[in-house]
């Protein structure tokens, strides 16, 4: 199964594709979309949408997973993050996917870090699971952690949907 993880953000949105073959995880693709704080928010959101649509179309994953909002330092930063998340959800949906959502604590625990782990600890664990890390900002590593999380939780989600 090939999963595209998305770590949405108004300044940097990371994405990463992880495939599971014969019980092992492999890095397939990763990248990020950077926007400028000098641009109007509408233009930044359009750039995020276009970049994610391109990534989803090129990777053609079996599933898409996105980080959900857990809590934020300020209402303003949460609102900006919510805009980016909304655009990520829209891009995935428009490309034909029903994205799974995971909160940061679940992601950290799934990759083997503790719930309050910092980005360096998560990156270390992701590097161990994949054998290497791509260049780029921490948002890329976070996106890979989201994809790994979906690999670990996909069977549970499938069982729940069958039970309904």
Question: Which of these, 55, 51, 18, 56, lies nearest to 34 by C-alpha position?
Answer: 51
Count, residues in the chain: 164
For the domain that residue 27 is a member of, what is the CATH number?
Answer: 3.30.420.10
Are 25 and 19 in contact, with CB atoms under 8 Å apart? yes
| Distances, alpha carbon 35 to alpha carbons 38, 48, 155, in Å | 9, 8, 35
Q: Which residues pair with 15 in a beta bridge?
A: 6, 31
Phi, psi of 72, rounded to the nearest 5 degrees:
-135, 160
Element (H, E) at 54: helix 41-59
Active site amino acids: 7, 67, 139
What confidence tens digit (pLDDT) does each residue in 14-68 have? Answer: 999 999 999 899 999 999 999 999 999 999 999 999 999 999 999 999 999 999 8
What contacts 28, CB < 8 A, 6 or more positions away? 2, 17, 18, 19, 59
* Range of the structural domain that residue 12 is part of: 2-163
Rounded to whole angstroms, how far apart are CA atoms 83 and 47?
12
Residue 30: per-residue pLDDT: 97
Residue 118: per-residue pLDDT: 85
For the chain, what is the domain count?
A: 1
Residue 116: per-residue pLDDT: 73
pLDDT tier, 70 (very low <50, low <70, confident <90, very high otherwise):
low
Q: In angstroms, how far is CA 156 from the centroid of its own chain?
A: 19
Rounded to whole angstroms, how far apart are CA atoms 157 and 144?
19
pLDDT tier, 72 (very low <50, low <70, confident <90, very high otherwise):
low
State the chain's mean pLDDT as an integer.
90
Query: Whole-model pTM?
Result: 0.91
């Amino acid at each position: 199964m090939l999963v595209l993880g998305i770590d949405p953000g108004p300044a940097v949105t990371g994405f990463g594709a992880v495939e599971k073959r014969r019980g092992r995880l492999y890095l397939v693709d990763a990248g990020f979309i950077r926007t400028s704080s000098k641009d109007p928010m509408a233009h930044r959101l359009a750039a995020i949408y276009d970049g994610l649509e391109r990534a989803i179309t090129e990777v053609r994953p079996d599933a898409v997973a996105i980080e959900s909002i857990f809590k934020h330092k300020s209402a303003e930063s949460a609102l900006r993050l919510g805009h980016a998340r909304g655009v990520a959800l829209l891009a995935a949906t428009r490309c034909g996917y029903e994205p799974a959502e995971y909160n940061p604590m679940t992601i950290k625990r799934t990759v083997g870090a503790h719930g309050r782990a910092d980005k360096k600890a998560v990156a270390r664990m992701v590097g161990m699971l994949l054998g290497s890390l791509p260049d780029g900002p921490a948002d890329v590593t976070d996106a890979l952690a989201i994809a790994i999380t979906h690999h670990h939780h996909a069977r549970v989600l499938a069982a729940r949907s069958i039970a309904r």
